[in-house]
Amino acid sequence: MQETLGARLREARKSSGLSQNDAATIMHISRQSFSKWENDRGYPDIDNLVFLSQLYDVSVDSLLKDNDEMKAKIGVNNIEIHEKPKQLKKVNRNLFQNRDEGLILVMLALISAIVPPVGILLPVYVMWRNSRYNSLYKTIYLVCAVVILISLWGTGIIVSDNFFAPQTHVYRVN
């Protein structure tokens, strides 16, 4: 039976006296990724393979041996690794297209403070509309909370002066 790359990686790690967690920490990768490599559910790219060979003080050739199938899979992984950043750039651009909306939401909340009854309801809509991809994500919540409190105070003054006994006295000046 042909020995797999994962088995050779595990054997080299154990012979160097490292745990999966220790080796993963040294390489700045997750322990789960390391486990996938050793269980043949994934394969390290060439850079990580070279780093592993240096860490375990063995040659890359001894890790790969004459396993052509493994070399082919590593080549495919390297191609995928070089293509993923291109795809991620497209995704990141789509996620952060809402920057302008963050500024619009803050302005909408601030303008709604001018009319107290509107300043209670509109900031609730603004908070519902806010997403964590807005550049002013936390600021929008803070501004909305302040606007709601000010609008509640202003609405209370309007209601008390118009519907209850007014507490404001107007004095005539001669």
> What's the pLDDT score for residue 98?
46
Q: How confident is the model at residue 68 (pLDDT cuts 50, 70, 90)?
A: low
**Dist CA 147 CA 6 (whole Å):** 59
**Dist CA 111 CA 144 (whole Å):** 11
122-145 per-position pLDDT tens digit: 999 999 988 877 778 899 999 999
pTM of the predicted structure, to 2 decimals: 0.42
Which residue pairs, CB below 8 angstroms and at least 24 apart, start in 126-133?
129/101, 129/105, 130/102, 130/105, 131/98, 133/95, 133/96, 133/98
Mean pLDDT of 48-61: 86
> What's the pLDDT score for residue 136?
83
Higher-confidence residue of 70 and 101: namely 101
